[in-house]
Amino acid sequence: MNPEHWKLLLSPDWNEWRRKNANVTPDLTDADLTGRDLSGQDLKRADLTRANLSRANLAGTDLTRAVLRSANLAGVSAPGAIFEHCDLDFLDLSRIFLTGARMRSASLQGCTFIETNFAGADLSMTRLEGSDLSRANLAGANLSDVNFRGVKTEGAQ
């Protein structure tokens, strides 16, 4: 993790710094962001490998092309968040709020989404092979061109 990026993320200057440094890839590997309010933050292309985002508020956060390998997203609230083109493979995303989230073209293979709320989310062109969507709320979600091969959907609505 880059200590400067960590310090900036926790300051009110983060989004302005991101606008001025759009070509910089924020290094937040192994960051402990447990319970943090990151709503509306620009985390595009951020490296959040092994980051602990449990119980974080990601409402409206832009995580386009962010790296979230082995990240902990337990209890996250992310309504309206943008996860487009993210690799979220094999993460446990059970019981989290992704209402209205934009996940277009994300890779979600082998994920666990038990009781996850996707109401109104855009899941178009996602790869969900081998994922578990048991009891997930998919009401009003855009599921066009989704790969559902081997997906468990027991009780999903």
d(C-alpha 64, C-alpha 57), whole Å: 16
pLDDT tens, 106-127?
999 999 999 999 999 999 999 9
Residue 71's pLDDT is 96
Beta bridge partners of 44: none
Please give the full DSSP string across 18-70, using - where no structure is assigned. HHHTTT---B-TT-B-TT-B-TT-B-TT-B-TT-B-TT-B-TT-B-TT-B-TT
Give me 54's structure tokens: 């449990």
Residue 126's pLDDT is 96
